[in-house]
């Protein structure tokens, strides 16, 4: 999937925030969770995601999603990683 297709799909699925991001080689973002759904397209390099005790590596052209509230760790590969990230925030419940 190319960048334009991915960004179009994000918009169709209600992802309001789309950003190009990167992490330097071997950077580790310790276990955390986001308050938004995320979808990523890897443009260059490699990112390993650890969730539920399982590690999965994503490379150029791969996509993956991370539902809001999912604890995970992010690890950049030896060349770092460049990616497109979409964020979809959920409306707060009225109360």
Overall domain count for the chain = 1
Q: What's the CATH code of the domain at 31?
A: 2.60.120.10
- What pTM was computed for the model? 0.91
- 3-state secondary structure string, the chain? CCHHHHHHHHHHCCCCEEEEEEECCCCEEEEECCCCEEEEEEEEEEEEEEECCEEEEEECCCEEEECCCCCEEEEEEEEEEEEEEEEECCCCCCC
Question: Is residue 93 a part of any domain in this protein?
Answer: no
Within a domain: 95? no
> How does pLDDT run across 18-75, given as a tens digit for each residue?
999 999 999 999 999 999 999 999 999 999 999 999 999 999 999 999 999 999 999 9
In which domain, by residue range, is 27 found?
3-88
């Amino acid at each position: 999937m190319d960048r334009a297709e991915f960004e179009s799909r994000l918009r169709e699925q209600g992802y309001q925030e789309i950003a190009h991001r990167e992490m330097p080689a071997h950077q580790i973002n310790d276990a955390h969770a986001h308050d938004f759904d995320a979808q990523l397209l890897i443009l260059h390099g490699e990112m390993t995601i650890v969730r539920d005790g399982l590690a999965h590596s994503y490379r150029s052209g791969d996509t993956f999603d991370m539902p809001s509230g999912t604890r995970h760790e992010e690890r950049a590969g030896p060349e770092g990683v460049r990616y497109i990230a979409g964020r979809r925030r959920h409306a707060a419940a009225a109360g």
